[in-house]
Amino acid sequence: MSAFDNKRKKAFLAGRELCSLDDPNDSLVDRCKFNFHYFTVQDAGQNFPDWSHGDLISLLQHIKEYCNFPLSHWMRQPIGKSGTVLAIYGGFPKKSDFSHPKHVPHQARWGRFRLNHSKRLIGFTIPPELNGVEHRGSGLRYCSNTFYAVFLDADHRFWVSGEAK
């Protein structure tokens, strides 16, 4: 035994029961996930280095908070005058300063997480009818509780409205 062993710490950790995915109270499957594979930069949006350190910390804090619940929860949470934290629009908006990236599937259900007054995380989910369906190539199953981030939108230019700057 090393002179640096902590017997009380070892006893405490040994006595703690570890959580299990088999536990009916485990909430892992309920929590939404974020995927940045489709992330791209266009002139209307920004790349990570374009945002301040504080804005990036805020983004990560928001994502951490969002991961506590399923996407459906955030679609019901009010924010601002009449919106919700997560809005799923469906198709790519007709009035947008962005263009549909060719590497994003045409089935994408486009939407946005509202981070603050004008900042948005733009991305998509898969259609609900694909949830749990096995992908032909990989044998893995689609998950409709995943948000695929595509753009950073600091100026509300994805879905252009009267509020856009």
Q: Is residue 108 in some structural domain?
A: yes
Which residues, other chains included, contact 144 with Cβ-Cβ below 8 Å and sequence gap of 6+?
A: 71, 125, 126, 127, 128, 130, 131
Q: Is residue 115 in some structural domain?
A: yes
pLDDT digits (tens, 9 = 90+) for 117-129: 889 999 999 999 9
Higher pLDDT, 116 or 92: 92
Q: Is residue 49 in some structural domain?
A: yes
Q: Is residue 128 in some structural domain?
A: yes
Q: Is residue 147 in some structural domain?
A: yes
Q: Is residue 144 in some structural domain?
A: yes
Whole-number Å distance between alpha carbons of 32 and 18: 22
Residue 113's Cβ-count burial label (10 Å; 0-12, 13-18, 19+) is: buried
pLDDT digits (tens, 9 = 90+) for 49-64: 999 999 999 999 999 9
When pLDDT is averaged across residues 74-79 and rounded to a whole number, the result is 96
Range of the domain at 67: 30-153
pLDDT digits (tens, 9 = 90+) for 18-27: 777 778 887 7
Average pLDDT, the chain: 91
Whole-number Å distance between alpha carbons of 149 and 143: 15
Number of domains in the chain: 1
Q: Is residue 90 in some structural domain?
A: yes
With CA atoms as reference, report the closest residue to 21 among 30, 32, 33: 30
Q: Is residue 159 in some structural domain?
A: no
